[in-house]
Amino acid sequence: MADKKDNSLFLYTALIFIVAIVLIILAFFGQTRINKAEPAVSPEATEAAAATPDTLQGIAKSASELSSENLELLNENRELNKRLNETKTELETYQKLLDAYDCYSRNDKDGARFLLNEFDYNSLTSQCKTLYDFINTNIQ
């Protein structure tokens, strides 16, 4: 009876050992297959990817330059927007003066007088004041 027990214990141990060897072999071939499937990394790419202090300083310098350039462009953009708004206001003033002149040319003095009363004379440019004065003197 003791022989049967020892024999079955030996068979279980041998079976576990064989399964372990098969798993090791499968793992080896699986790892080899995975390594072949990965793309090769060239030494040049490794060197380029390495972050050296010079590279980091160059990046920081570029970022600083781009940041200052961005600030300059933002300031320039604000100036241009300001000038655009001033030009729009001036254009609206010219349009109103042209409407007043149109009324004057059609002998609609009341309409021209009404349109001229909307203006603040002191805020007009010299060209606008000339046209304003011309219309204002001729409608009275």
Q: Convert the pLDDT of each residue in 21-34 to its tens digit.
A: 999 999 988 888 77
**pLDDT value at position 98?**
87
pLDDT band at 4 (very low <50, low <70, confident <90, very high): low
pTM: 0.47
Cβ(91)–Cβ(126) below 8 Å: no
